Structure 1
Amino acid sequence: MSERYTGDVTTDGPPDVRELTGLTISKISVGPMDNNAYLLRCAASGDQVLIDAANEAPRLLELVGDAGLSTVVTTHRHMDHWVALEEVIATTGARSLVHVADAEGLPIASEPLADGDRVRVGERWLDVIHIVGHTPGSIALLYQDDADGSHLFTGDSLFPGGVGNTEQDPVRFNSLIDDVEKKLFDRLPDETWFYPGHGRDSTLGVERPSIPEWRARGW
């Protein structure tokens, strides 16, 4: 595992690259809303998958390079996470995947995902975890490997410091924090590194002690 990776990126800066045994993760920030996009490349096959074609299609396509792109996964239907989707799909011919509950919010027809599905990245896999609250069809994507540990792409459902925005709706907030605690924190070890839809990364172990505080404040 690369020791130099920090996950700190800026909208006008280069990607930060993490070299795992089975997977390379390239994180880039695109404007104007400081969205993170993640390009995953299978070390064995070179197959590439993009998580959230958020914006700035030329920069995302430059990141993809000549190796091609097999799939784009959209973590949820909010527009800032798919502005570049049409152009990236049209240029690369990649498949577009999104949870079935958020499919109507996307600008192109996309193949539906459901909780428990798996997304192939060459010889590796991402497990789809449905997290209800930020949107009805928000998902997290989990990569696990004995050599690499657990790596979780959380979209806007989990950030350092709390769960995603639920617009002060207590029903949505309770759904979101319940799913985050049950499906992520209760399932995965403290060493799990997570990569959110905006801003810096963190680990579940760093954030776990704050869950009671998040519940008490209601956001």
Structure 2
Amino acid sequence: MTYSGEVLPGGEPAVRELDRLTISKLSVGPMDNNAYLLTCRATGEQVLIDAANEAPRLLELIGDRDLTAVVTTHQHMDHWVALEEVVAKTGARALVHADDAAGLPIEAETLTDGDTVRVGDCALEVIHLRGHTPGSVALLYRDPAGVPHLFTGDSLFPGGVGNTDKDPERFAALIGDVEHKLFDRLPDETWFYPGHGKDSTLGAERPALPQWRARGW
């Protein structure tokens, strides 16, 4: 089945098979959060991005394979409700940017801009994006056999950047980081996976960047 990125709360995961990595996207309630399980096809090692909610469903998705880490994209509660239970039952490391670590319910190892998170033989680059929260991150996988894949948390969605509560300084930080660290560095075919809702590509969103900046959200 062709991957569309469309998932529903309580529904089946959408699975995308890359050359070296499998991406499984699952929607969990009650806020229709996306959780992403990345599996190295060579080693079977796995990393979960955002243990948002519904720990039993996430643990079923993880299955018997080794979960090495859970990366929390930012400190907002709807992205970590299941974190403590998933970590306790899998022994995975909890990872979060240093500036958001105090917002998590458990102690976590801290990340910084430019760090690498390993998924078996695959690597994710940590990209710090200020504004939605102080320590929000995106995770970039550069597929050697295809297009880049970018997991953006709540910093970038189809149609705009994440919520900055109408704070002009936070908005300026976020739109600046998204433009310079994502759109200026990565090609149009880069596929991105947000913390809620449907996926998109940087190319589909790029023409609207001036409008986003002008409207201030």
* TM-score bracket relative to the smaller structure: over 0.9
For 1:170, the equivalent position in structure 2 comes to 168
* The one of 131, 145, 149 aligned to 2:143: 145
SS of aligned partner of 2:63: helix
Instruction: For 1:103-122, list aligned pairs within 5 A.
Output: 103-122=101-120
Q: Does residue 85 in structure 1 map to residue 83 in structure 2?
A: yes
For 2:94, the equivalent position in structure 1 comes to 96
- For 2:146 and 2:86, locate their aligned partners in 1 and report how far apart those are by CA, in whole Å: 29
Q: Are the counterparts in 2 of residues 99 and 114 from structure 1 also a CA contact under 8 Å?
A: yes
SS of aligned partner of 1:45: coil
* The one of 124, 127, 130 aligned to 1:126: 124
- For 1:48 and 1:38, locate their aligned partners in 2 and report how far apart those are by CA, in whole Å: 10
> Given residue 103 of structure 2, which amino acid in structure 1 is its aligned partner?
G
Q: Any idea what the Cα deviations from partners look like across 1:164-188, whole Å, max 9, x if unmatched?
A: 0000000000000000000000000
SS of aligned partner of 1:67: coil
- For 1:61 and 1:145, locate their aligned partners in 2 and report how far apart those are by CA, in whole Å: 26
1:146 deviates by 2.2
Q: Where do 5+ consecutive residues of structure 2 fail to align?
A: none
- For 2:178 and 2:113, locate their aligned partners in 1 and report how far apart those are by CA, in whole Å: 14
For 2:185, the equivalent position in structure 1 comes to 187
Instruction: For 1:63-74, list aligned pairs within 5 A.
Output: 63-74=61-72
1:149 deviates by 1.8
> Given residue 192 of structure 1, which amino acid in structure 2 is its aligned partner?
T
- For 1:214 and 1:203, locate their aligned partners in 2 and report how far apart those are by CA, in whole Å: 16
Runs ≥4 residues deviating over 3 A:
none
Compute the TM-score of the two structures, normalised by the length of structure 1: 0.98
SS of aligned partner of 1:60: helix
- For 1:200 and 1:66, locate their aligned partners in 2 and report how far apart those are by CA, in whole Å: 28
* The one of 45, 48, 60 aligned to 1:47: 45
1:12 deviates by 1.6
Q: Where do 5+ consecutive residues of structure 1 fail to align?
A: none
1:51 deviates by 0.1
Q: Please give the root-mean-square deviation of Cα atoms over the aligned residues, in Å.
A: 0.6
- For 1:111 and 1:199, locate their aligned partners in 2 and report how far apart those are by CA, in whole Å: 28
- For 2:146 and 2:89, locate their aligned partners in 1 and report how far apart those are by CA, in whole Å: 32
Count of aligned positions = 217
- For 1:186 and 1:69, locate their aligned partners in 2 and report how far apart those are by CA, in whole Å: 33
SS of aligned partner of 2:16: strand
> Given residue 147 of structure 2, which amino acid in structure 1 is its aligned partner?
G
- For 1:147 and 1:198, locate their aligned partners in 2 and report how far apart those are by CA, in whole Å: 27
Compute the TM-score of the two structures, normalised by the length of structure 2: 0.99
For 1:15, the equivalent position in structure 2 comes to 13
SS of aligned partner of 2:64: helix
SS of aligned partner of 1:128: strand
